[in-house]
């Protein structure tokens, strides 16, 4: 088994952790995920380098730092900037002394639910019943949906009268049917996640 480190901005057992660990094992059967959570984006931008160094010390072959471009509580005064966040993370990695190690940055656009929207069959499978099948319209460019969490909330309310809770439901939706990587690849940020799990370490790219 190959130990791969993951660093997330969410809390322990957050939706990002559960979904990314699951998808990582779907992409590479030999992966043993080792995840660390930093609770919020501010902590991630400051401490990810230090945590990455600890993961390498623990025997990880590579480390993926995964975060959402769209924060859980958007600041209307400051639009999220992937470039600025990337530079902050690269600085943290350099200060921790692991800039020459296999650290990969994966910014999820806009947020984790973008990946759920990439495969409409999973949403339909989870929300349908034998008596009431639920049809989900295809989203051709899930990364361009400005508020994917709101779209998921609407699906849950319309189909079953449920309130969507990402920590509970995101992983259940993702596991509701067989994983079709071709559909998930409609999301550019998912493609990056997949690439950074499978690329040869000698050709790493932190773009």
Tens-digit pLDDT profile for the chain (207 aa)? 999 999 999 999 999 999 999 999 999 999 999 999 999 999 999 999 999 999 999 999 999 999 999 865 555 556 788 999 999 999 999 999 999 999 999 999 999 999 999 999 999 999 999 999 999 999 999 999 999 999 999 999 999 999 999 999 999 999 999 999 999 999 999 999 999 999 877 555 554
The dotted CATH code for 2-111+187-203 is: 3.40.50.960
Contacts of 72 (CB under 8 A, 6+ apart): none
Question: Rounded distance, CA 72 to CA 15, Å?
Answer: 12
Residue extents of the structural domains in the chain: 2-111+187-203, 113-181
The DSSP symbol for 180 reads -
- What is the reported pTM? 0.93
């Amino acid at each position: 088994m190959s130990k791969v480190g993951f660093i997330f901005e969410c809390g322990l057992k957050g939706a990002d952790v559960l979904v990314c660990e699951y998808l990582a094992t779907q992409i590479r059967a030999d992966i043993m995920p080792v995840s660390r959570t930093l609770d919020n984006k501010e902590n991630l931008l400051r401490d990810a380098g230090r945590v990455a160094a600890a993961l390498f010390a623990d025997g990880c072959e590579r480390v993926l730092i995964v975060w959402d471009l769209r924060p859980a509580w958007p600041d209307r005064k400051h639009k999220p900037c992937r470039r600025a966040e990337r530079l902050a993370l690269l600085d943290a990695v350099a200060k921790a002394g692991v800039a020459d190690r296999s650290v990969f940055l994966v910014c999820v656009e806009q947020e984790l639910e973008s990946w759920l929207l990439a495969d409409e069959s999973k949403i339909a499978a989870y929300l349908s019943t034998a008596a009431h099948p639920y049809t989900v319209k295809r989203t051709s460019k899930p990364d361009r949906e400005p508020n994917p969490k709101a779209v998921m909330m609407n699906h849950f309310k319309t189909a079953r009268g449920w309130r969507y809770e990402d920590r509970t439901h995101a992983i259940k939706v993702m596991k509701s049917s067989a994983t079709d990587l071709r559909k998930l690849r409609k999301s550019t940020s998912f493609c990056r996640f997949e690439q950074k799990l499978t690329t040869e370490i000698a050709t790493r790219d932190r773009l």
